[in-house]
Amino acid sequence: MIITGKYPYLRMRRSRKEEWSRRLVRENTLSGSDFVLPIFLTDGINKKQEIKSMKGVYRYSVDNLSSIIDRAIKNKIPMLALFPNTNQKLKDNSGTEALNENNLVSKAIIKIKNKYKNKIGIMCDVALDPYTSHGHDGLIRKKVILNDETVEILTKQSLLQAQLGCDVIAPSDMMDGRIGEIRKILDKNGYVKTQILSYAVKYSSSFYGPFRDAVGSKKALKGNKKTYQMDYGNLNEALREVALDVKEGADMVMVKPGLPYIDVIREVKNCFKIPVLAFQVSGEYSLISNGIKNKIIKEEAIYETLLSFKRAGANAIISYYADYIHKIIR
């Protein structure tokens, strides 16, 4: 870094004196366009269920999505991310409901595209954990998560989502080789313009608990996901994961969780110059929200943490605060 100037002729506080001056030289800002809004789906008619471990976040029935999507469009949020809370009766060891063209995600894609056309993008999670009775992201045989056999199902799930109108396929399963196989099947069937957002860097984190409540997989989960999600002590491994997924055809990559891995976001951006998304996960949301509720921290902490992702190099942020971003920015 080149240091120019010398005290007392240079005084860094001059530009901090007034609010207008601070705005003038600000390096990073937030707008609605920086966010992806996660939406949880549930069965039923006219439902809006608050998730107990995520105050202010709800599950919506497919017929009741208009209010939250209308608000997202008004706030210029470019994309939604859909996550289903699948009925327990529909779950099995193989996650076959993932391939049902009438499952919650399928119905939501059709509903949103019919009403909103291309006013807002749709991102769909590709993984089996919302659909399996054991809560894992892949098939299991003798307590081992099967890689290649799982990838076969994930490619079919991806193609189904693309056929229904999904704009961005987002594999979050962390199986080896799945990006290349998904890209092949999409291209083979004419979906060359469908984007892939790879959860290339997904750590085996303790911050996912409230999300698993939201999709109904927490109680079902047997064991942990450490044999396929990343060891959170590793950074170089994250770069290798990104390199492989970019080579296989990923258009964008994800770092998840967000705040505990801000260094990883920076390294990925510096090394690959590819669009990078940060996922401010459910545990981060709940910790911050509970801290504000209990007056341990100020509400400005929301903006501060979100801005840290942009400063680190993230192009966009998946955050449950996206639904309130107009208030947060104001």
- Residue spans of the domains in the chain: they are 29-329
pLDDT given for residue 215 in this prediction: 86
Taking the CB of residue 228, how many other CB atoms lie within 10 A of it?
A: 17
| 87-to-42, 117, 133, 239 alpha-carbon distances in Å | 8, 28, 10, 37
Among candidate residues 107, 256, 269, 310, the one labeled active-site is 256
Question: Could you list the pLDDT tens digit for every one of the 330 residues in the chain?
Answer: 787 888 999 999 999 999 999 999 999 999 999 999 999 999 999 999 999 999 999 999 999 999 999 999 999 999 999 999 999 999 999 999 999 999 999 999 999 999 999 999 999 999 999 999 999 999 999 999 999 999 999 999 999 999 999 999 999 999 999 999 999 999 999 999 999 999 999 999 999 999 888 887 877 787 899 999 999 999 999 999 999 999 999 999 999 999 999 999 999 999 999 999 999 999 999 999 999 999 999 999 999 999 999 999 999 999 999 999 999 988
| 155-to-66, 158, 207, 271 alpha-carbon distances in Å | 30, 5, 28, 28
Residue 202 annotated among the catalytic residues of the structure: yes
Is the backbone peptide bond immediately before 257 cis, with ω within 30 degrees of 0?
yes
User: Residue 130's closest CA among 196, 83, 93?
Assistant: 83
Amino acid at 265: I
Class of domain 29-329: alpha beta
Distance, first Cα to last Cα, the chain: 34
* Interior/surface letters 190-213, b for 16+ CB within 10 angstroms, e for the rest: ebeebbbbbbbbbbebebbbbbbb
- Tell me how far apart the 2 most distant CA atoms of the chain are, in Å: 72
Report d(CA 257, CA 83) in Å as an integer: 17
User: Residue 280's closest CA among 296, 300, 304?
Assistant: 304
Residues in the chain: 330
pLDDT given for residue 221 in this prediction: 85
Among candidate residues 202, 225, 269, 310, the one labeled active-site is 202
pLDDT given for residue 1 in this prediction: 74
User: Residue 69's closest CA among 37, 46, 43?
Assistant: 37
Give alpha helix (H) positions in the chain: 19-25, 66-74, 104-116, 147-164, 178-188, 209-215, 236-248, 262-272, 282-293, 300-312, 325-329
User: Strands 48-51, 121-126: parallel, antiparallel or unpaired by DSSP?
Assistant: unpaired
Q: Would you state the structure tokens that stand for residue 81, as one six-digit string?
A: 């991310």
pTM value is: 0.95
Report d(CA 212, CA 230) in Å as an integer: 18
Report d(CA 94, CA 219) in Å as an integer: 17
pLDDT given for residue 5 in this prediction: 87
Q: Which residues pair with 277 in a beta bridge?
A: 254, 316
Q: What is the pLDDT of residues 165-210, one digit of tens each?
A: 999 999 999 999 999 999 999 999 999 999 999 999 999 999 999 9
